[in-house]
Structure 1
Amino acid sequence: MNEAQQLLHQAKWRIIDQTCLGPQFGALQSFGMDDTLCASVGTGAQPATARAWVHHNTVVLGIQDTKLPFLQDGLQYLEEQGYSYIVRNSGGLAVVLDEGVLNLTLALPEKEKGIEINRGYEAMWQLIKQMFADFMSKGHKIEAYEITESYCPGSYDLSIAGKKFAGISQRRLKNGVAVQIYLCVTGSGSERAELIKNFYEKSKKGESTKIKYPDISPDVMASLSELFGVNLTVADCLMRFLKSIQALGGQIYSGQLTEEEVPLFSDYYDRVVLRNQKMLTT
């Protein structure tokens, strides 16, 4: 068992399912949740926690996106397309969330030995390969390398045959690490990419910028349903996620925030909201 796999083998896993909360469940709440889980898991107050979540028509911007020269024009375009937007507190650039995108978080304790950043990414990659092992056995190899013409490109983009379907990020707080992934399960990956491509075009208008923003080619992105040639659903993938966690051998149980975590969440959520407002007004 390598070090990444060891991270997945926790004595206990608390499972928090937030995939069916509907449009009123905002993305800022998710980032407040993950900060809360980092803090409570990091201190040892709660066991490792796996969270699944879905948001409706939301573009999650990175901090660097707020430096775009014509950002307001880009944001207006997103609104016209029926999307809300927020700025997240973890790294990366703009990504699309909608009903066909399953987001997963693994909140892990760092304990005595810190979790090296690539180890966190590797652990999530291993879990995704386990979730879709049946498709991999049929020749659908899941690789991790940067898809430079995708939105939010990174060294741990997950792809099949050169088409990206997932991106991974991390958040670190108080001896806790939240490894987060979005999985494009259904719908058109290229249409999502087209939305972000147009956002950047309207936000840059051809101006040169100090920050390098992606030159997006929509045909390098796809959903798992498109890649596998089957009608996967978010619910199907959630079940695969739960079975993969269960197969790791530890105790798993369904839970929500504890009484001690609720005020923590309120505090972290307020911080995320304030930070978001500042980022979008400066």
Structure 2
Amino acid sequence: MSLQQLKQPWRFIDQTTLGPGFDALQSFAIDDTLCTSIGTGDSEAVVRAWVHHQTIVLGIQDSRLPMIKEGVQFLRESGYRAIVRNSGGLAVVLDEGILNLSLIVKEEKKFSINHGYDLMYALIQAMFADKDITIEAKEIVGSYCPGSYDLSIGGKKFAGISQRRIRGGVAVQIYLCVTNSGSERAALIGKFYDLAVQGQPVKFDYPTITPKTMASLSELLGEELTIQSVMYKLLTTLNTHGAKLLPSQLTADEMNVLDHHYERVLKRNEKALEE
């Protein structure tokens, strides 16, 4: 897909350095808030970058596993907080070595679900166009949260793309495993599923994790990347393709809307993981 759509003004919100106190549930509420602003025409399109520490984001289906309490207890004992996302997908790891990006645009008939995925895929390809690599978009069996837009190099997954459409806005989201061990993250999720299922009947096809199917970009490229160095690639690529970046933060009106969305997300999460 062409990156022509990037050639427009974008609010740029950088939340990569807020630290361990930045609640991942806030990110879901923030993207919903920005979708609302864009849907009503009160905001330009948004590029948001964010990092969360030691968090496992579960899907709704994960939260219904037969032995979910044992699985969540294992994650907590391993130093992770477990939360449940408000969109589709299954369990993923978020930590200080994973960069999350959201492209949030107005929902239009011509902007299909595949267009959203293809736009993010094309952006990541452009960011690493200087490398002698081929980035593929296809399901990587054995990875966590597998999907047809898993991004991989040499058959090893380093990213996954998801999408949320709400109130006239579309948030296309990606997590990029930038540093540390992708296989160790995968092994953690694999152990979670072992403990949360324990041979009991399950109503959906949860992934059977093969840790070696996942790796970080630092491992795949053989160089020491950082969140900051990948952010630089993002910004230079956006500029190269004609994006006019407007450094931004949530407005006062958006903060009021955020409070509503965040409260709703908190309640949904508590209900999904209630004791």
Separation in 2, partners of 1:67, 1:21:
31
Pick from 116, 122, 125 the counterpart of residue 120 of structure 1.
116
The Cα offsets for residues 217-258 of structure 1, whole Å up to 9 and x where unpaired, read as: 000000000000000001101111111122221321100001
State the match for 1:51 in structure 2: 48
Does residue 15 of structure 2 align to residue 18 of structure 1? yes
Q: Normalization by structure 2: what TM-score?
A: 0.97
Separation in 1, partners of 2:174, 2:134:
18
The Cα offsets for residues 162-192 of structure 1, whole Å up to 9 and x where unpaired, read as: 0000000011111100000000000000000
State the match for 1:227 in structure 2: 220
State the match for 2:93 in structure 1: 96
Q: How does 1:70-85 map to 2 (within 5 A)?
A: 70-85=67-82
Question: SS where residue 24 of structure 1 aligns?
Answer: coil
Does residue 32 of structure 2 align to residue 35 of structure 1? yes
**Stretch of structure 1 that moved more, 192-201 or 248-257:** 248-257
2:100–2:173 contact (8 Å) kept in structure 1: yes
Separation in 1, partners of 2:192, 2:212:
17
State the match for 2:269 in structure 1: 276
Q: Normalization by structure 1: what TM-score?
A: 0.95
State the match for 1:133 in structure 2: 129
Residue 5 of structure 1, CA deviation:
2.8
Separation in 2, partners of 1:43, 1:96:
33
State the match for 1:202 in structure 2: 195
Separation in 2, partners of 1:236, 1:250:
19
Does residue 80 of structure 2 align to residue 87 of structure 1? no
- Structure 2, unmatched stretches of 5+, are none
2:23–2:52 contact (8 Å) kept in structure 1: yes
Q: How does 1:164-175 map to 2 (within 5 A)?
A: 164-175=157-168
Question: SS where residue 133 of structure 1 aligns?
Answer: coil
Could you tell me which amino acid in structure 2 is paired with residue 5 of structure 1? L
Question: SS where residue 281 of structure 1 aligns?
Answer: coil
Residue 42 of structure 1, CA deviation:
1.6
Question: What RMSD in Å do the two structures reach over aligned CA positions?
Answer: 1.1
Question: SS where residue 208 of structure 2 aligns?
Answer: coil
Residue 93 of structure 1, CA deviation:
0.1
Does residue 216 of structure 2 align to residue 215 of structure 1? no
Separation in 1, partners of 2:4, 2:115:
10
Residue 114 of structure 1, CA deviation:
4.6
Separation in 2, partners of 1:120, 1:57:
28
2:186–2:214 contact (8 Å) kept in structure 1: yes
Could you tell me which amino acid in structure 2 is paired with residue 120 of structure 1? G
State the match for 1:254 in structure 2: 247
State the match for 1:245 in structure 2: 238
2:3–2:241 contact (8 Å) kept in structure 1: no
Question: SS where residue 40 of structure 1 aligns?
Answer: helix
Give structure 1 regions of 4+ aligned residues with deviation exceeding 3 angstroms: none
